[in-house]
Amino acid sequence: MQPSPPIYILISGLPASGKSTLANQLQASLGLSLLDKDTILEQLYVAFRSTNAEQRRHVSSSADQVFVAIAKQLGRGILCTFWDHPASTTTPGTDTQWLRTSAAQVIEVYCHCPAETAFERIQIRQQKQGAQDNNRANLGYDLLSEYKIEASLGPLNLGKLITVKTDQPVKLELLTQQIIDLINTKESI
């Protein structure tokens, strides 16, 4: 009997669209391992004492590489990050090419959230964290416009797709069952 191919539940969507919150809920309800890039990123920020936007971009890129390497070894689990959308021309995210060429079963849970809501959440998060990164605004950087562009691209279209509106309460039991059904459908074929 051959081992079953890897199964990845991708949590996708804009930054601050509720990906990490949903991923943690799914981890508890599905009992799968969770790999969240934010966890890796926080540790690298501390280790490298990144203070400016350029340093943070470099650390984020390094975190992407670590995330992908760990994900490949995981074999079965929930992967949460801001993914690199194939149609994006603005914000780079975590590479998806390795998933597109693998034999893994992929279920994408797309966190659909209006760009304005995600932008407000980011502003609140930065205020709470005391973020000093106003450099983007000072350089004429328009994060809300970038979010609108990214939101217009929609899901990654990797594997089976479940879209969840994360600007409202998520029906976790229903979502969990949808994921289980998709996993079982593939495994029984």
Could you list the beta-strand ranges (E) of 23-140.
33-36, 76-80, 105-112
CA atoms within 13 A on the CB side of 52: 2
In this prediction, residue 137 carries a pLDDT of 46
| Statement: residue 18 has pLDDT above 70 | yes
| Statement: residue 117 has pLDDT above 60 | yes
- Give residue 174's identity as a one-letter amino acid code: L
| pLDDT 10s digits, 27-76 | 999 999 999 999 999 888 888 876 777 888 889 999 999 999 999 999 89
In this prediction, residue 176 carries a pLDDT of 98
- What is the average pLDDT value for the chain, to the nearest integer? 88
Residue, of 136 and 85, whose pLDDT is higher: 85
Domains of the chain: 7-188 (3.40.50.300)
**3-class DSSP assignment, residue 157:** coil
**Overall average pLDDT of the 166-172 stretch:** 97
CB atoms within 10 A of CB 189: 6
pTM of the complete model: 0.89
